[in-house]
Structure 1
Amino acid sequence: MFNLVRSSHLPSQNSQLDVYEHSVYKTKLYFITPPESITDSTFAISFNTPPTDSTGIQHICEHSVLCGSQRYPVKEPFGDLLQSSLQTFLNAFTYTEHTCYPVSSRCEADFYNLVSVYLDAVFNPSFQTDDRIFKQEGFHLHLENAEDQLKYSGVVLNEMRGVYSDPQQKGQSRLQSNLFNNSSLGFESGGDPEQIVTLTAQKLNDFQNEFYQPENGTVFVMSRFQPEKILNLINSLFPQHTRGGKKHENDFKNILPIPTGEAEFASEEGKFHVFRGIIGKKIENVSPLENYLIKIADYTLHDAPGAPVSQRVEESGICESFSSQYDNSQEFSIVTQSFQGCGEKYGELNEIVKKCYTEILGEEEGELNTFLTEKKIKSVINHLLIEMNEVTGEYGISLMGDVFLHALYGIDNFDAFLDHNAILKQIEEMDWNDLKAHIVQIIQQYFQHEQSIFTLKPNAQLNVQQNLADQQSLEALKASMTPEQIEALIQETHHIMSRQLTHDTPEQKACLPKLSLSDLNAVTNGYSQLKLKEQKHFIHFDTETQLIYFKLIFFPEVKSIYDMQVFSLLTDILTNVRTEKYTLDELSTEISSVTGGIELCVDSMKDDFELAVEFKCLPNKLHQALELIVEILTKSDFSDSQRVQQQITKAKQDISSELDGDGVYEAIQQVSIGSIVKQGVVDDKCGWFGYLKFLKSIEFENQDEGEEDEEEEEQETESTILPKAIPFEEIQQQLQGYLQLLTQQQMLCIAGSDKVLIPQLEQSIALNFTCFKVVNEITKQNLDFIEIFVPHEIKINADVNYVVKAVPLTQITPHLILANQIITTKYLWDQVRVTGGAYGCNATVMLANLLMISSYRDPNHQRTIEKYDGIAEYLQQLELTETDLDQLKIGTVGARQPPSTPYERFDKAIQYYIMHIDSNNYKGMVDEIKYVNLQGVKKCVDIYQQLSGVQAAVAKGK
């Protein structure tokens, strides 16, 4: 049983913390009772799993654990729970030193069910007696017929191939390896694709037996349900007898950082990527005060608009973008700095950064240059106060991370670390000389002197070379096999596939805990609250929080795609250039002093074009924040050519980096959606492939001839073909002109706050927004010039693919929503994710009256397209028991629970307002799902039959 060790109040979270210890296993359990406004309950168990190699055994174990267990012997309990629970979070994480299994739900019965399934999964997994699970989730040699080409397949293998295709992720992983050389932190817990294929099923079994023991675990619970009932449940699910497990710890006695390193990555652009790393302190040696001072220094130096180090790097012209990250999520904190899109002089960057730190520190010891003033340092406190006090969408998961950060490393008394309000107030009231001394020490220890630099060098032929080498190696392996060995491999492949294709028996299904339709009562009631109310000078949404959320949405009159792209560029540059009132340095300080950051973007809902400005602030900073917004939107100055060029270059690199990573998933979705509605065209041309092409067409006066090679091979889909090159001077002038146009455009002014703040909002808005054309009803824009796309294939720098098809809908019905959930969680999960090897696949019904099917990190794009085309036939032949159908209804409604956090409700209410969606009608439609029968589901076949006639948009890896 669990015995109470201590209790305390967490003032910044307005919560109660109770720490328990198991009487037998000595497992620590941290139980947090949150305020009434938090309706989710969260459970997580985490095991210390320090790696000893880069085979990814931790990651493969995380996946395999969720493929059935002793008490719940179904094939895919994880998928079943996604189908049939009211979960608000269901996942698992592999960190560098521990593996974590968290779940959340707002329904008490569902919460207990999820805890039961997850605990049996980690302690009694099915893979211990069925090695097909390891081969499915990890890797296996795949050969279905003797004449086929031999290949490797596996979910984790494909995922990590995708990860290693992203230069940012690959570079950071290799830097970590160099920093912590000769220690467990130097290995890749996710798995290096080249080493994953050396792992065996027996090693996985041994690993789980050793590490997945209560003695090596830590438990987190956040709930307002009865603590005694939860504790008894967890205790009953722990193993009945101890097997002598122990707490596994890392050994850091012999860390020997490697000063430099390099590797190649696949790129046709000829740009280098450089990573600079510094090891900080062991977490047990970092005080709460120091932890927040590091965050303040890091943000001020590197992340704030006009941050001195970032600005100096950008001014060098050697790299396209720079970022710095302080990571304290492992036993040793680290600082990772990355220089993206570097030219041939990349070797100078380290000295440029170090010189900048030296100048910031000043010539005299203990002094700071004018780069960092007391006002600038303390302005960041406001930024952090907003960030730390915001209730996020995954509040329990976020709090779990804060608790595990300390508890997993034996730091039990961590309450002070969580009291961010008290710590930030302490810093705010600190004498400047004392504060300055702390900042000097932090710069010297955490930023000034690197332990390792790692460089990724571009090789346009790398993918071809690697693929050829892999193919030759596998061909040689197959050639070396006897006919008997080949036949055995074919049988093994089909044996693995048999698990994937075999359906659970009714007896197996009956073992899984279930909810009833009555548990859906009140699940969707929150939709009724998602309504904006018009005030005299603005539109208001009651968030019942002390933070103020503010959003301005302009609907500019545009006449071409080019107009939209210039407006998009405007959003990338605003807040990063001076204004009439503020220098860039002063502007950075003011933004941090009065807001939690200002975000600008262009967007589209229901085939419109929007330019949005968004920020959040504390009530006492509202008037200053609105004055600042007006200054930025009316008085920004684009005359500094070098600064504007730097921001264009940074925007270009940011998009390129996202398209080299997981951003390509959203990008290819927009290409597919753009074949049906203008919204997808707008999103692509102003944010993804089309926007990157626009940015590359801007020609700087000092640009070397041929510097921007035309590499896009996709079909031309723009309504107005852009010129080969756009002179920078032309863009620079247009930015100023387009900014001036904003005051003449229709604008919605929307605020989310506690309703008691409405008078204050009325007064501040009336005083500040006299120069804008504030309206509550938008005149429809004329966007007839936009032409929809033809879906096509786009080449990407990755080893995997992304495949999307979309079709239009005449209306969204409860029958369609349920059909779509069935297709996602049953057909696509089995056919594309499990047997096809994709990391994920979803069917999505979009509010813009669209149906979209998309796969993620997919090694078999042609097979996936065939499976998309087979959805209609699957639906026609679908047979379900009433019990199975009821469980799918529960999962369908559970996936559409209304948002619970203040900002999410605010954002969703805005979507409904602009798209003219009645939240009560939407609630009614979701409620109707529980009355849909199988015949109603099958009536949706005609919609899915359209997929076979639609060309897929494919992001194709090399």
Structure 2
Amino acid sequence: MQVNDIIHGFRLLRQEQVKEAASEAFEFQHVKSGARLLYLKNTDDNKVFSISFRTPPTDDTGVPHIIEHSTLCGSRKFPLKEPFVELVKGSLNTFLNAMTYPDKTMYPVASCNDKDFHNLMDVYLDAVFYPSIYDNEEILMQEGWHYEIESPEEPLKYSGVVYNEMKGALSSPEDLLENQVMREMFPDNTYSCESGGNPKAIPNLTYQQFIDFHKKYYSPANSYIYLYGDMDIEEQLAFIDSEYLSNFDIVEVDSAIPLQAAFNEVKQVEDSYPIGEDEPEDSRTFLSYNLVMAQAGEHELINAIGLLEQALLKTPAAPLRKALIDAGLGMDVSSHFETNVLQPYLSITVNGAEADKAGKFRQVLHDTLAELVENGIDRTILEAALNLMEFQLREADFGSYPKGLIYNIMLMTNWLYDKDPLEKLRYEADLQDLRSKLATDYYEQLLKKYFLENNFAVSVVMKPDKTLADRQEAALAEELAAKKAAMSEAEIQAVIENTARLKLRQQTPDSPEALATIPLLKIEDINPEPKHIPLEERQIEGVKVLYTPAETNGIVYLNLYFRADVIPQELVPYAYLFSDIIGLVDTESSTYEDMTNRVNMHTGGITFSLENLTLEGVADSLQPIFRVSAKAFMRKLPELAEIIGELLNETKFDDKKRILELMQQNRSEFELEMLQSPVQVALARLNSFISKAGAYNEQGELSSYPLLKKLTDEFDANADEFCGKLAQVMSLLFSTKRLTIGVTIEESNYAAFADGMKPLLLKLQENTEADRAEAVAYNFQPAPQQEGLLSSSQVQYVAKGANLYRLGYELTGAYRVLEMLLKYEYFWIKIRVQGGAYGAMTRFNSDGDMMFVSYRDPNLAETVAVFDGTAEFLRNFEASDREMVKYIIGAISGIDTPLTPRLLGATAQRMYFRGITYESRQKRRTELLKTTVEDIRALAPAIAACMAENNLCVFGNGTVIKENEGLFGRLTNVLE
């Protein structure tokens, strides 16, 4: 292909190498439709396709978000109610979703299977260009909002998936704060609007507005098509052209986003967020300072600000963070540099503060920045931040997310605003440029111009309000009552009929002919054997090594596993706090600031965690492990070993001021996490009712909050005892007698790795007290419980479960199929489609723990009834052979996810500790692939027995939980 060639309707605009992404880039424009297309050619078999649209909202109705949901509810070629769900059930996808941003909507898919990749691309293109929303108003009713009433006597209410999703999202004070910042920062353009939708405004969206938004923005001329990976690009271009783009002509789409004019002076705003009536108000205010720093495409500036954020705010050694903490303004400091908008902005937030500290907050910010400008930023801090940035860029490890997907999101931060998308993938010159400027006053001048002298800023004080939630609920009830009172009998009857029509549509299954339109792989397309996950047992100085050979580009991925069964039961909560503190306090040889800089200078990070690696097939197994995880370039192994040795041998707990700071930060993060990830809180609590490992783990979850609260509220009285217990935990843990090393690295580097580890092992052998420690017996006694966790959340997270093994049942491969069909069939229909929740899922763990959970759920008792009805659903389960193949393939996709080198090694090590062998994996896989309708029905007694145990935990709205008090044995105020 040559530049200006036209290939299947696409003109090649440029062709360039992007060595940092190991790719060759081809940028096209479709001649007839005007669609843009970017292809990154490389050897990655995890292929990615995405189509995105610039979708700037003009109000808070959430129309971009609702359309994102709705386009995947049927289309021209795939006239089902839920093609997205049918795809998930029967695809080998490695990613399948859609995302709404403040100004764009993205529809990405990924798969390693060529046929599957083509199928996914076809369904998504048909969904965005030919959705069924034009013929079915019920799609807006289901996914967006509708009035719901089944008889004239009932009160009117709102329901809808996005409506309830956003009630959940905007229960989080962090999300409410971000919403307020955007509204105040960009009052004159699209960013003042909530693209996800504000529940107060969502019911203002009309069907005509909904349709008009799609007509305007979902045009190829407003689209950004992205392809990544090892594929026949001409084949893909031919398909996209002939099936889709050739049907459209270029049109003018006015989707440009105007720049927000800078302010003449800093805005100061106050707002509030709801908390529960029994929650404390003290130290719950957010103080936030937000500065617009750049425009999209100002690559050098954006990189430099990102580096400054890391250096000044992101580490314990960060001077601006330290100044804010030392000033006693609040419990914790956080920051976020938002680059997914036209005008990137930096947010600096103090959590756990008081409103009267707002002036002092701004003064400390100003004075600290002025001092840094005057005296200079410590180059050690800047260089450490730059080294960490370089490590992360070169590593390019995005966990379970396909690399091509993350590249897509990165480049959209330029491409969407008509800037060079490839610039976001290149970093070699950027690193060199950033490093060269360390010798100048460039960074100080940036601080002066963009921080100190920048009035394009908003200062927000967000205070807790105990009565706000009640006032909002009362206002909503009053609004709905007034709307109903204003309706005639005929209008009320019309709402009843609309509700009935929607429910009928939801309950009516798709026809076999419609289902058959979704392309489906065959069982023969699936490898009958599980992936080989390599692991070799070796030794270094008598210590067992679990070695996974992999191409890591010279990075060593290291895990040190210390058996933690020497920690007495009464010290387990302190062991969890110890894992949060180690590495963040002084050692005998280094201050914590110096240590932070050394870690960032020489490694890609060191983390500490206490976890349970339970045994496969064993009920109530308890195998606590303290894990030290680290990564570094091989050339930095000596420094890595020295740092770890110092942390494990020399950490001190005598700086009480520092330890109080860390406990306050921990508490603040915990309180935010409650409403940011409540589903995890509910699951952890439920798990503590059903297994010993769950009860152990929960010592580091909600059960630890009273201890955290006591320590922070009464620290002086408890400091000596607390510090002593931290030292006691440390004295017990770090013995080479209980150590197993896990490492992932190239074979060619293994010998050097073994030599490099010997000094660390010799240092650990000095821990004679730890060597003498012996395993203890634990007395965790899980028993059936029903607990309601009261909060200010506007929605519920309902969790129910039990342990299969304890009830005498075996966990087979059929349960993986059951996970898929419950999540995307029974629960999807009953809890999401009909109940209006955002979703529900299942977990069947290899230690026998099974859990059901709903999330962002407007219901409570109704969802419990759905869970309790699962066994009956299974007894009557029917599915065609084709449907069973679909469920099986969908279940396999969750097992065969590609693994990065880091995850490959970590997975191999976890399997070793949990006793998961290749043979047991093969057995489960064979069972999964052979699962029949009869096998699914045969699971009904096990599920019935689990539900009969009546282990229940609900995190949710305090009023709703109290209205259902009869379901619970105990009610707990989560933050009391």
Q: What TM-score do you get using the length of structure 2 for normalisation?
A: 0.91
Choose 311-320 or 258-267, whichever is displaced more: 258-267
% identity of equivalent residues: 24
Aligned counterpart, 1:250? 257
Q: Does 1:179 align with 2:179?
A: no
* CA distance, structure 1, for counterparts of residue 799 and residue 714 of structure 2: 40
* CA distance, structure 1, for counterparts of residue 773 and residue 875 of structure 2: 44
Q: Does 1:809 align with 2:822?
A: no
**Match for residue 661 of structure 2 among 619, 633, 646:** 646
Kept in 1: contact 2:30–2:36 (CA 8 A): yes
Aligned counterpart, 1:678? 692
Describe the SS at the equivalent of 1:554.
Answer: strand
Q: Does 1:533 align with 2:537?
A: yes
| Structure 1 residues 501-546: Cα deviation after superposition (integer angstroms, max 9, x where no partner) | 1110011111111111121136x642x2243533334321223212
**Match for residue 656 of structure 1 among 651, 671, 678:** 671
Aligned counterpart, 1:618? 633
**Match for residue 423 of structure 1 among 410, 414, 430:** 430
Aligned counterpart, 2:393? 388
* CA distance, structure 2, for counterparts of residue 848 and residue 446 of structure 1: 52
Aligned counterpart, 1:484? 490
Kept in 1: contact 2:632–2:640 (CA 8 A): yes
Aligned counterpart, 2:918? 919
* CA distance, structure 1, for counterparts of residue 530 and residue 681 of structure 2: 34
Aligned counterpart, 2:841? 842
Describe the SS at the equivalent of 2:630.
Answer: strand
Kept in 1: contact 2:571–2:725 (CA 8 A): no
Kept in 2: contact 1:804–1:854 (CA 8 A): yes
For 2:884, the aligned partner's letter is L
Matches within 5 A, 1:162-311: 162-239=168-245, 240-242=247-249, 244-246=251-253, 248-252=255-259, 254=261, 259-267=267-275, 268-270=279-281, 271-284=284-297, 286-287=298-299, 289-311=300-322
For 2:243, the aligned partner's letter is L
Kept in 1: contact 2:329–2:350 (CA 8 A): no
Describe the SS at the equivalent of 2:344.
Answer: strand
Kept in 1: contact 2:370–2:448 (CA 8 A): no
* CA distance, structure 2, for counterparts of residue 408 and residue 343 of structure 1: 40
**Aligned-pair distance for 1:439?**
4.4
* CA distance, structure 2, for counterparts of residue 938 and residue 483 of structure 1: 46
Kept in 1: contact 2:546–2:909 (CA 8 A): no
* CA distance, structure 1, for counterparts of residue 446 and residue 93 of structure 2: 45
Kept in 2: contact 1:554–1:746 (CA 8 A): yes
Describe the shift of the 1:909–1:448 C-alpha distance in structure 2 as closer, same or farther (beyond 3 A).
farther
**Match for residue 147 of structure 2 among 141, 154, 158:** 141
Aligned counterpart, 1:109? 115
**Match for residue 40 of structure 1 among 32, 37, 46:** 46
Q: Does 1:354 align with 2:366?
A: yes
Kept in 1: contact 2:259–2:343 (CA 8 A): no
Describe the shift of the 1:575–1:444 C-alpha distance in structure 2 as closer, same or farther (beyond 3 A).
farther
Describe the SS at the equivalent of 2:273.
Answer: strand
* CA distance, structure 1, for counterparts of residue 235 and residue 452 of structure 2: 48
For 2:891, the aligned partner's letter is T
Gaps of 5+ in 2: 1-8, 615-621, 959-976
Aligned counterpart, 2:936? 937
* CA distance, structure 1, for counterparts of residue 116 and residue 734 of structure 2: 51
Describe the SS at the equivalent of 1:305.
Answer: coil
Describe the SS at the equivalent of 2:609.
Answer: strand
Gaps of 5+ in 1: 704-725
Kept in 1: contact 2:33–2:250 (CA 8 A): no
* CA distance, structure 1, for counterparts of residue 254 and residue 468 of structure 2: 42
Kept in 2: contact 1:304–1:592 (CA 8 A): no
Aligned counterpart, 2:354? 343
* CA distance, structure 2, for counterparts of residue 778 and residue 147 of structure 1: 73
Describe the SS at the equivalent of 2:294.
Answer: strand
Kept in 2: contact 1:803–1:864 (CA 8 A): yes
* CA distance, structure 2, for counterparts of residue 443 and residue 922 of structure 1: 59
Q: Does 1:953 align with 2:961?
A: no
Q: Does 1:728 align with 2:719?
A: yes
| Structure 1 residues 657-679: Cα deviation after superposition (integer angstroms, max 9, x where no partner) | 00022x22111101111111122
* CA distance, structure 2, for counterparts of residue 41 and residue 508 of structure 1: 28
* CA distance, structure 2, for counterparts of residue 488 and residue 866 of structure 1: 29
| Structure 1 residues 53-87: Cα deviation after superposition (integer angstroms, max 9, x where no partner) | 11111111111111111110111111111111111
Describe the SS at the equivalent of 2:326.
Answer: helix
Choose 231-240 or 83-92, whichever is displaced more: 231-240
Describe the shift of the 1:130–1:255 C-alpha distance in structure 2 as closer, same or farther (beyond 3 A).
farther
Choose 85-94 or 592-601, whichever is displaced more: 592-601
Describe the SS at the equivalent of 1:786.
Answer: coil
Describe the shift of the 1:860–1:779 C-alpha distance in structure 2 as closer, same or farther (beyond 3 A).
farther
**Aligned-pair distance for 1:602?**
1.6
| Structure 1 residues 560-609: Cα deviation after superposition (integer angstroms, max 9, x where no partner) | 54311111111211222122222232112101101112211221221222
Describe the SS at the equivalent of 1:738.
Answer: helix
* CA distance, structure 2, for counterparts of residue 699 and residue 929 of structure 1: 50
Describe the shift of the 1:899–1:847 C-alpha distance in structure 2 as closer, same or farther (beyond 3 A).
farther
* CA distance, structure 2, for counterparts of residue 432 and residue 344 of structure 1: 38
* CA distance, structure 1, for counterparts of residue 41 and residue 681 of structure 2: 41
Aligned counterpart, 2:383? 378
**Aligned-pair distance for 1:558?**
4.6
**Aligned-pair distance for 1:244?**
2.3
* CA distance, structure 1, for counterparts of residue 118 and residue 444 of structure 2: 47
* CA distance, structure 2, for counterparts of residue 405 and residue 236 of structure 1: 29
* CA distance, structure 2, for counterparts of residue 657 and residue 930 of structure 1: 42
**Aligned-pair distance for 1:181?**
1.0
**Aligned-pair distance for 1:779?**
12
| Structure 1 residues 389-439: Cα deviation after superposition (integer angstroms, max 9, x where no partner) | 223232111010122121111113x434422234214433x16432x3234
Kept in 2: contact 1:213–1:245 (CA 8 A): no
Q: For the aligned residues, what is the CA RMSD?
A: 2.2
Describe the SS at the equivalent of 2:861.
Answer: helix
Kept in 2: contact 1:837–1:858 (CA 8 A): yes
Choose 608-617 or 49-58, whichever is displaced more: 608-617
**Aligned-pair distance for 1:924?**
4.0
Aligned counterpart, 2:682? 668
Kept in 2: contact 1:335–1:446 (CA 8 A): no
Kept in 1: contact 2:645–2:764 (CA 8 A): no
Describe the shift of the 1:532–1:869 C-alpha distance in structure 2 as closer, same or farther (beyond 3 A).
farther
Aligned counterpart, 1:543? 550
Aligned counterpart, 1:818? 817
| Structure 1 residues 432-463: Cα deviation after superposition (integer angstroms, max 9, x where no partner) | 432x3234324641477461011211111221
Kept in 1: contact 2:156–2:481 (CA 8 A): yes
Matches within 5 A, 1:678-697: 678-686=692-700, 688-697=701-710
**Match for residue 749 of structure 2 among 747, 754, 757:** 757
Kept in 1: contact 2:337–2:345 (CA 8 A): yes
**Aligned-pair distance for 1:321?**
0.9
* CA distance, structure 2, for counterparts of residue 825 and residue 3 of structure 1: 41
Q: Does 1:575 align with 2:579?
A: no
Describe the shift of the 1:469–1:837 C-alpha distance in structure 2 as closer, same or farther (beyond 3 A).
same
Describe the shift of the 1:657–1:763 C-alpha distance in structure 2 as closer, same or farther (beyond 3 A).
same
For 2:533, the aligned partner's letter is Q
Kept in 1: contact 2:372–2:444 (CA 8 A): no
**Aligned-pair distance for 1:798?**
0.7
**Match for residue 785 of structure 1 among 779, 785, 790:** 779
Aligned counterpart, 2:618? none
Describe the SS at the equivalent of 1:698.
Answer: helix
Kept in 2: contact 1:699–1:727 (CA 8 A): no
